[in-house]
Amino acid sequence: MPRNLLRIGLWAAIFSGSALAQSVLTGRVLALSDGDRSPAAGAWVVASSGSPPRTIASVQADAQGTYRLEDLPEGRVEFTVSQRGYFTLEAGGSTAATLARTCPRSGSCGEADFVVAKASVVEGYVTDPFGDPLSDAAVRLTKTSESLGPDRRGPRGRFGRPMTSTDDRGYFRFYGVAPGEYQLEVRTPRLLGEIYSIEPLDVSVELGESSSPFYIAMRVGAEPVRVGGVIDGLNLIGDETVRIIAVNVNPGPGRRPMSGIQVNTENEAAPRLSGQLTRGDYVLHAEIIDDDGGGRGGGASRVVALGRYRIDSDVTDLRLMARAGASFSARIRFEDMEPRRVNLNLVPLDGGTPGSMRFGGNGRFRGVGGIGARGRQPRFERFALLPGRYRLETNSSDYFITSQTEFTLSEGETLRADIVLSGAFGEVRGVVRPPSEDADSGPFVVALRDGGGKVVSIQTDTEGEYSFTKLLPGDYQICSWADASVDPQSDQAWQAAGSSAKRFPIAAGDQTEILLTAKP
């Protein structure tokens, strides 16, 4: 056979095999309006596969709402419908936004009809307490009930949450809102976060009906006090400007921990500060900003600590002294776990600067081996801290800190450390026997007390079996009572238990079994 004919035959076989390796999905896209269904002409049907999902094929429905999606690969494929201003009510006969099918190597992947419905709009205006438009306020619409369809409520915030900001008219708008119950939350711009506030509003969205505009008037969250004074020791150079950051140590629920104060730097030797704060306990810092762009990324070129102050009334004669703050820098390592997110808190024990650090939750954190965003090992860093004693804490139920958690920082010191997190909790389980042979079997009360005096109690099953999980390493006491009226939180109950309360240690990853006899 001539070589050219052989080559043509091979290409024909390849194309033939490729064609056989594809399958087809057909159906219609219908729009629901006033109980009737009509063709949704122009709607896009999109196929995606893989992890993370990627689009592999798409087609637009014709004037009759009919579509034919070709070139589908073998295996699991997910199908969605996209049409601006609509959400998917049904997919393949089920109340869902997405249809999943396992397509064959060739032939038909079946038929599937989609039903879409016109989504709603939630809009409104935000004003300050005096009735003037409030611009740059963050507005968030949060689902509080199971709503139909996907979340398509306009722009997304920094961490993927549906939110938007008010314009110069104080106006905001969320489009493509599915039916359901929502909460509308408004947060004011940063410098007003401590002064203006508003409780979240309950919003009910009906199918295909847009709400009337909401008119939201912020209120004064707390009576502000005036703050003014002079800052010594900043040693400003050239075109540097200053921003004061006041961190409210106990901001309270729903209030932001940050607030700003203006600084007049005409007198470089003694810049004057002025502004308003709510009453509270504050840690003050000065961010020195080089207007010529000397700071990293256009931010502060240096940060200095100014101290901690209790502000209960107007104070216009503060005399603040810049001081060399302390710094804490730590690498984060993991043992026996691959966390999706990490939250750490820096707690001052004698009047220092509180702080926290969060990794993950936005798809950028890959916990394996402690590798964070951009392939770097995550670090916990805090600068311009007030000198004092600190403790590192986490409130996670998925991991705990195995490295040193308490340390002391001196003025101007930079402390570098390693933070080691582990998911190897301990566990204790066992059986509780009746106090005597003629006594009834369970259930009994079992209590566990850690070295700090914290008590957790549970009830055994009818066979007397119990289990405590997610235990931190440390020393524990355990005891059981047959009398259900005993209060395990009471010190007297533990003192009366005497030798019935057993002491034992738990190391990381330990699984301990303890046989108990219920105290009468």
Determine the pLDDT at residue 16.
42
**Does residue 129 share a domain with residue 82?**
no
Query: Residue 9 gets which letter from DSSP?
Result: H
**Does residue 461 share a domain with residue 446?**
yes
Residue 477 near residue 516 (C-beta atoms within 8 A)? no
Query: Residue 74 gets which letter from DSSP?
Result: S
Determine the pLDDT at residue 13.
41
Does some domain include residue 350?
yes
Spans of the chain below 70 pLDDT: 1-21, 145-162, 190-195, 208-211, 220-222, 251-260, 291-300, 358-377
Beta strands in 105-252 (DSSP E): 107-111, 114-118, 120-127, 138-143, 163-165, 171-177, 180-187, 196-197, 201-205, 214-217, 219-220, 224-232, 240-248
Residue 168 near residue 176 (C-beta atoms within 8 A)? no
- Region of residue 252 (phi > 0: left; psi between -120 and 50: alpha; otherwise: beta): left
Does some domain include residue 471?
yes
Does some domain include residue 105?
yes
Determine the pLDDT at residue 190.
60
263-292: string of b/e by CB count within 10 Å (b at 16+)? bebeeeeebebebbbbebebbbbbbbbbee
Residue 316: phi and psi, rounded to 5, are: -120, 5
**Does residue 436 share a domain with residue 409?**
no
Determine the pLDDT at residue 222.
65
Does some domain include residue 11?
no
Determine the pLDDT at residue 220.
67
Separation CA 261–CA 256 (nearest Å): 15
Q: Is the peptide bond before 52 cis (omega within 30 degrees of 0)?
A: yes
Residue 502 sits in a domain of what CATH number? 2.60.40.10
The candidate with the shortest Cα–Cα distance to 240, out of 267, 270, 273, 265, is 265
Determine the pLDDT at residue 145.
56
- Domain end, chosen from 301, 321, 341, is at 321
Residue 283 near residue 326 (C-beta atoms within 8 A)? no
Which range marks the domain in which residue 431 is found? 426-517
**Does residue 214 share a domain with residue 148?**
yes
**Does residue 107 share a domain with residue 130?**
no
**Does residue 336 share a domain with residue 307?**
no
Residue 259 sits in a domain of what CATH number? 2.60.40
Residue 480: phi and psi, rounded to 5, are: -135, 145
Determine the pLDDT at residue 224.
76
Separation CA 518–CA 503 (nearest Å): 15
Vertex 409 angle, CA 406 and 411, to 5°: 170
Does some domain include residue 378?
yes
Does some domain include residue 380?
yes
**Does residue 263 share a domain with residue 185?**
no
**Does residue 500 share a domain with residue 489?**
yes
Residue 495: phi and psi, rounded to 5, are: -65, -40
- Domain end, chosen from 300, 321, 342, is at 321
Residue tagged 């940050």 (tokens)? 258
Residue 193 near residue 255 (C-beta atoms within 8 A)? yes
Residue tagged 């709603």 (tokens)? 120
DSSP 193-230: TTTEE-PPEEEEE-TT-PPPPEEEE-EESS-EEEEEEE
- Domain end, chosen from 321, 338, 359, is at 321
**Does residue 79 share a domain with residue 129?**
no
Separation CA 391–CA 354 (nearest Å): 10
Separation CA 76–CA 47 (nearest Å): 10
**Does residue 231 share a domain with residue 283?**
yes
How many domains is the chain built from? Answer: 5
Residue 201 sits in a domain of what CATH number? 2.60.40.1120
Question: Beta strand 272-278 with 315-321: parallel, antiparallel or unpaired?
Answer: unpaired
Does some domain include residue 13?
no
**Does residue 202 share a domain with residue 179?**
yes
Determine the pLDDT at residue 36.
84
Residue 334 near residue 370 (C-beta atoms within 8 A)? yes
Does some domain include residue 279?
yes
Determine the pLDDT at residue 43.
92
